[in-house]
Amino acid sequence: MENNRVYLIDGRKNCYKANLHCHSTVSDGSMTPEELKSKYKARGYQILAYTDHEVLALHNELNDENFLTIPGYEIQIYGDMELPKRLRRVCHLNLYPKDAGNNVMPFYNEADMMKLDNVPDVSKAVYDGDGKEPKEYSAEGLNRLISKARDAGFIVSYNHPMWSRENSDIYTGFQGLYAMEIYNHGTTFDADAYCPYIYDEMLISGQRIGCIATDDTHDECDMFGGFTMVYSDSLEHKSVISALENGDYYASRGPIIKNLWYENGTFHIECSPSVKIRVSNSGRRVIAASIKISQDEKLTHAEFPIQDIDVFVRFTVEDEFGRTANTRAYWRDEFEESLPIASNVANYLKQ
């Protein structure tokens, strides 16, 4: 903070480019962990999360002073079991341990593992329980898994809701997530991979979560479409996980957000050349005070006044190719002492 200035994205901090969702030959990916590191590092990434299906594997030997691997694993929970597999709703969650050396999965179901197209070496799975952890497909059942993961020292993200064909009765009922995938590049070919409206629904339900963009890499065609810019004190596991927990990041498919701050009733944003910059909230802002569209020259900055109905705000930058950068939602008490007028976000969480 400088005087009355509150930085929401602070360009003076260390910033690292990350893909927080990928699959290697440990599960159903076509590339080895080493090959994935080589390709991502060559494209300027400093962070890569290995989130293979149903099994947690550490890749600490791939770390160097300019590249960090984040361990994790992706679990799937099917609903609608009476339907053919490809017609069922399915929830995918990514789990990332806060401790870089933690390879103990908080839950594991060997039957789920054996159903994968490429079955990993289950002898290397380290887990609590008997390997038959039940997974109930309901908001309550999924929240029990999220809670158990958090208690075991993991942070949890919600993956590709459009590809998963899930309804709002599932994703608006979540509790305890740190983020959802507003964009998942790997699902571009068979689903709407960009889903800001689902993020808004989750926010309006009262969830204080962030949004990330990922590749969900399985093959080379999945690479370099979505990334997350993480503001971390250092390129170390503990610091990066802390930044993710604290919401110090933004999601992008191309545009770069350089700074975002609030000062004396006005939001200020600086970014790479773009054709559109907008601010949105849980309702319907006055349009003239909510969007800037380029005329003769590209936009590199914009200012927006706060409005009385701003329970939260989030910002979207769009470039000439239609690619977006999305900030997380910033809740009013993060930047302003005054309360908004009556809102539809659970009366501002009963304040």
- Region 290-314: mean pLDDT is 95
Coil vs helix vs strand at 52: strand
Question: 3-state DSSP helix/strand/coil percent for the chain, to nearest 5?
Answer: 25, 35, 45
pLDDT digits (tens, 9 = 90+) for 89-121: 999 999 999 999 999 999 888 887 777 777 776
298 vs 71: CA distance, rounded Å? 39
pLDDT digits (tens, 9 = 90+) for 259-270: 999 999 999 999
185 vs 172: CA distance, rounded Å? 23
pLDDT digits (tens, 9 = 90+) for 174-202: 999 999 999 999 999 877 899 999 999 99
pTM, two decimal places: 0.95
Residue type, 180: M
- The predicted pLDDT at position 348 comes to 59
231 vs 234: CA distance, rounded Å? 9
pLDDT digits (tens, 9 = 90+) for 16-72: 999 999 999 998 999 999 999 999 999 999 999 999 998 899 999 999 999 999 999
Q: Which of 312, 331, 194 is nearest to 251 (CA)?
A: 194
- The predicted pLDDT at position 343 comes to 64
- The predicted pLDDT at position 245 comes to 98
Q: Within 10 A of 278 (CB to CB), how many other CB atoms are there?
A: 19
Structural domains for the chain? 14-252 (3.20.20.140), 255-350 (2.60.40)
19 vs 212: CA distance, rounded Å? 9
Classify residue 48 as left (phi > 0), alpha (psi -120 to 50) or beta.
beta
Q: Which of 40, 47, 37 is nearest to 239 (CA)?
A: 47
pLDDT digits (tens, 9 = 90+) for 203-244: 999 999 999 999 999 999 999 999 999 999 999 999 999 999
User: How far separated are the first and last CA of the chain, in Å rounded?
Assistant: 25
Q: Which of 197, 224, 203 is nearest to 323 (CA)?
A: 224
- The predicted pLDDT at position 346 comes to 58
* Cβ neighbours of residue 265 closer than 8 Å, sequence gap 6 or more: 305, 306
250 vs 243: CA distance, rounded Å? 11
Ranges 107-121, 160-174, 239-253, 299-313: which has the least confidence: 107-121
User: In the structure, what pLDDT confidence band is assigned to residue 129 with cuts at 50, 70 and 90?
Assistant: confident
